[in-house]
Structure 1
Amino acid sequence: MKLLSTSLLVLSLSLGTFGARVLERSKFSAKDKCPSAKEVASKTYTVNGHEIVHQTFACPDGSLRESSPPAGNGKTIRSTSLEKRNAAECRTPAPECQCGTAFDCECQDVTANAPSSGDCTILQDSLSVVSQTEGSTFIVQPDSFELVSFQTCAFEWTSFSNSALEYCWDEFANTGGLVNQICFEQKGGTAAACNSNNGLWLSQALRVGA
């Protein structure tokens, strides 16, 4: 899972995520936006000795679609910075398939500390192994979100659609790696939120745990 060259790291970014564990500060993750969220599935993968947790949550009160991400701090990046944008991996056609959909991201300052960039790198790299088990894509139902985490770092993908959406693991991982580089390694923010231009989904990265 390659990231783009550093010469491309001057673009736009907006990403935010929730942790299955407790956030240092709330009002950012899908869990915080939907206190009634219920875990409907959970799997743990051991990748090179690291335990990667994949959880699926459903929001029964529909509050996710009524929420909006916090304002960014000006550090931004666009989806054109990603090398791999391949909808051919999908099992379904658009609009269910969202691989390659344009998005804009921003770094956010929502927790006292950013996740460990090393944890985020391990999480990004591990998603290639998760995809070998789960398949190249994942399906997210309406009013639901996916969360993958490793120690202090979590990536989250939230659906705002009235129907099921499909997204690619490699693109999810690459986006998480990109915001890790710009927001966390380069001290651009403590979290990140990437909004799709079509308004159907939000991809986030943030700190979980202590």
Structure 2
Amino acid sequence: MKLFYKAGACSLSPHIALAESGLPFETEAVDLPTKRTASGADYLAINPKGYVPALLLDSGELLTEGPAIVQYIADLVPDKQLAPANGTLDRYRMQSWLHFIGSELQKSCAAFFNPMAKDDWKGAARVNLEKRLAYIDEQLADRDYLVGGAFSVADGYLFTALSWMAKIDIDLSRWPRLPAYQARIGARPAVRAALSAEALA
């Protein structure tokens, strides 16, 4: 398998999942403005959507969209328990978290990385982010992880999203459980390995 990624982007989430899985994989960085990969390939010929992440499977098929990719990886290694079993309520809780992080955190953060975004858009996005971060902080009041009392691929995605907050001047210390959560996930050997591979730590 090969993961196409941009350092520190949402593709960090499947990078963490792959590192946690113990499966063999390769990575290749993508320059998103030019749509060229590190080897010089035309990324649009690989992934017509033009964004990351994308996971090239050994079969030659391409899987896109982070939440789908991380569940695919988790299901390849059920013994690692990176996701609750299919059909369980915890599986749907995890999927709910994956969608929440994508639609409420990642989408709101996009305003701050879009050069065409005006101040009113950024202001609305900031208000939404602050509400959602407060909600997550409350949910972590009685748990160390998002679902089922153990690390799952949803935690890797939330860790990734929380890492963007410093770049957009949102101080997580306002919600004290969030820095503690971020440190807890960031201390995992697989997470450290993914960060190191992307030159983020």
Q: Same fold (TM over 0.5)?
A: no
- Structure (1 or 2) with the greater helix fraction: 2
Specify the structure having the higher radius of gyration (Cα). Answer: 2
- Report 1 or 2 for greater relative contact order, CA contacts < 8 Å, sequence distance ≥ 6: 1
Q: Say which structure is richer in strand.
A: 1
Q: Which TM-score applies when normalising by structure 2?
A: 0.25
